[in-house]
Amino acid sequence: MQIKRKTNFENFKKAKKISPGGVIKKIEKSGLCGRGGANFPTGLKWKMCKPSKYLICNADESEPGKFKDKFILENNPELAIEGINIAMHALKAQQCFFYLREEYSKFKTALEKIIKEKSEYDIQIVIGAGSYICGEETAILNSIEGLRAETRHKPPYPNEFGLFGEKTCINNIETLCRVSLVFEDDYENENILFSISGDVQNPGVYEEKQGITLKYLSEKVGAIDPKAIFFCASGGCLPFQKDLILSCKEIAKTGNFFQTGIIFVNHDRNIPDICRSITQFFNDENCGKCLPCREGNFRLLQLFQVILERKWTKEEFQIIEDLIDFIPNGSQCGLGKSSTTTLKSAIKYFKNEFDKLIE
């Protein structure tokens, strides 16, 4: 398990012997892609950002079903700090902000101790404002600047006009850990952290290669009578199929978005009811800036509340199907754009469960 391997900060020493441009080339050659969800090539991002005044380490993990950042903070925060050191050197950055989800503020003291002992850079820890949207890269900028954590229009992108109007590079905490690991001889680029929860005997975080089958994973975690898997709240869902390959490319073919938080669901559970909880989440967590996301998710939630008392009319179900397309099309950021992905795939793959709820 590479991400748990303790570091003696030798990787940073190796990186410092190479020029900033050389480090970026090495990261590019490694094939490392961001582990925050977007999967953007890290070396390319750094090339576009260099030189950056600021680096932001994003540890504002709030997606339901994802807890890998917490795992890193609990088990190997040193590796994240080493990755930051390497990134600061490569980007010639002057200051780093370590943006920590409010619920993870208990890790602040330990992080500060590591920073004091192991980093020569100015790294400040910022406690998040306590909402899901803060993890979006432009909302983070607003939050650190002391503004309301709403997203910004792009362009300009943070690498052009970021924090306090300066060039800024934003990387997820797992990505920064992997930056450090790139300097190890046995670096495995395909390794990712899976957060496993739901109806399983052994929930937790597993480091596995991208491209494993669902059969392999379900046996390893002890899935109990699996009917479906959900890719966190925003990635969609699929019926349980043993030969499903867990990779960005293969999951994209199903119309879903590969999220490394996998929630197993057994046959006793009701798929529309899970979709109602997910809609509640997006209704609570959207920042309210755009009407389709704010009002659309609210209307969806109202319609889900109807079925607690009676069945939907055909017209009501049609409104749900219309909103599934209307909300992402009119939304500015990833939260709104992905807020109906799971509902859409649930209706596609579990239509029989929705049909039972229509008059």
CA distances from 122 to 88, 98, 339 (A): 10, 10, 37
Work out how close the CB of 144 gets to ligand SF4 at its nearest, in angstroms, rounded to a whole number: 17
Contact at 8 Å (CB) between 211 and 243?
no
**Number of alpha helices (DSSP H) and beta strands (DSSP E) in the chain:** 16, 9
Nearer to ligand SF4, 150 or 316 (CB): 150
Of the candidate spans 8-16, 163-171, 288-296, 318-326, the one that interacts with ligand SF4 by CB under 6 A turns out to be 288-296
* Cβ-closest position to ligand SF4: 336
Work out how close the CB of 121 gets to ligand SF4 at its nearest, in angstroms, rounded to a whole number: 32
Distance CA 66, CA 172 (A): 13
HEC states along 70-93?
A: HHHHHHCHHHHHHHHHHHHHHHCC
Work out how close the CB of 332 gets to ligand SF4 at its nearest, in angstroms, rounded to a whole number: 4
Distance CA 100, CA 127 (A): 5
Count of positions on this chain that bind ligand SF4 (CB under 6 A) = 14
Q: Site for ligand SF4 (CB under 6 A): which residue of 294, 301, 319, 358?
A: 294
| Other CB atoms within 10 A of residue 159 CB | 17
Q: Site for ligand SF4 (CB under 6 A): which residue of 229, 335, 346, 347?
A: 335
Cis peptide before 272 (omega within 30 of 0): no
Q: Is 288 in the site for ligand SF4 (CB under 6 A)?
A: yes
Q: Is 287 in the site for ligand SF4 (CB under 6 A)?
A: yes
Q: Which two tokens stand for residue 39?
A: 């999967």
Distance CA 27, CA 235 (A): 27
Q: Site for ligand SF4 (CB under 6 A): which residue of 15, 251, 333, 347?
A: 333
Total residues belonging to the chain: 359
Q: Is 133 in the site for ligand SF4 (CB under 6 A)?
A: yes
Distance CA 334, CA 346 (A): 19
Of the candidate spans 116-124, 140-148, 214-222, 289-297, the one that interacts with ligand SF4 by CB under 6 A turns out to be 289-297
Cα angle value 158/140/29 (rounded, 5°): 50
Of the candidate spans 37-45, 80-88, 258-266, 284-292, the one that interacts with ligand SF4 by CB under 6 A turns out to be 284-292
Work out how close the CB of 45 gets to ligand SF4 at its nearest, in angstroms, rounded to a whole number: 22
Work out how close the CB of 284 gets to ligand SF4 at its nearest, in angstroms, rounded to a whole number: 11
Of the candidate spans 63-71, 179-187, 290-298, 318-326, the one that interacts with ligand SF4 by CB under 6 A turns out to be 290-298
DSSP string, 239-252: E--TT-B-SHHHHH
Dihedral (CA of 351, 265, 284, 100) sign: negative
Contact letters for ligand SF4, residues 138-167 (x by CB under 6 A): -------------x----------------
Nearer to ligand SF4, 161 or 187 (CB): 161
Distance CA 282, CA 326 (A): 15
Contact at 8 Å (CB) between 34 and 40?
yes
Nearer to ligand SF4, 284 or 355 (CB): 284
Contact at 8 Å (CB) between 346 and 237?
yes
Nearer to ligand SF4, 272 or 330 (CB): 330
Work out how close the CB of 143 gets to ligand SF4 at its nearest, in angstroms, rounded to a whole number: 13
Of the candidate spans 106-114, 117-125, 180-188, 286-294, the one that interacts with ligand SF4 by CB under 6 A turns out to be 286-294
Interface with ligand SF4 (CB under 6 A): 133, 151, 286-290, 293-294, 331-333, 335-336
